Structure 1
């Protein structure tokens, strides 16, 4: 189990809500299009009450929002894991090969005299 801070939780929830908004907008558009097609071709749909038509479009939007929110959350977690692995790999390389900090250190006096 990974411990997360309040800021991480807030970032994750904001990103998931962004995904929900995007998915709800996309799938509500699909629902409106499907409703328009059904209205054009099916007489029984024309007789359906407006409230029920709205409910059908709303179901499209809520379902799409839930799906997209989950996708955004999974991508957020994967991106966090990738950053964590990159950081760990960088730290291991610095331990094994030496970091940039070691390159900037002044050479010992004996080596400086040999170079001159």
Structure 2
């Protein structure tokens, strides 16, 4: 789908940012669990500074956010493309078989 207006661009951006927030939270959770497991079973990780542990968790979050943002953007484009195809199919169908307005005009008796 080609974004042509500012409102379309803004809605696409908002949807991608929603995906980023969801992905960042999901993968930061994965990073926290991985960090907890490493802390429990790896002595070298216990000796690692807290700042570096935070950096590792932050990397999980940013990577997951970027991935999910891209997925949301692709889905947004696909949904827009499907809507455009549906509208085009409806228009062709109305040209070939006539629209609802013509059927309603025939049912209403003229006085």
Instruction: Give me the TM-score of the superposition, normalised by structure 1.
Output: 0.89
**Higher Rg:** 1
Is contact 2:3-2:9 (8 Å) kept?
Answer: no
Distance 2:71 2:2 in 1: 20
- Point out where structure 1 has 5 or more consecutive residues left out of the alignment: none
The alignment status of 1:43 with 2:43, answered yes or no, reads: yes
The 4+ residue runs of structure 1 with deviation greater than 4 A are: none
Distance 1:59 1:104 in 2: 61
The alignment status of 1:60 with 2:82, answered yes or no, reads: no
Cα RMSD (Å): 1.7
Give secondary structure in 2 for the equivalent of 1:92: helix
Instruction: Give me the TM-score of the superposition, normalised by structure 2.
Output: 0.93
- Tell me the residue number matched to 2:73: 73
- Tell me the residue number matched to 2:97: 97
Distance 2:14 2:62 in 1: 17
Within-5 A mapping of 1:8-23: 8-23=8-23
**How many Å apart are 1:4 and its aligned residue?**
1.1
**How many Å apart are 1:3 and its aligned residue?**
5.2
> Number of residue pairs matched?
109
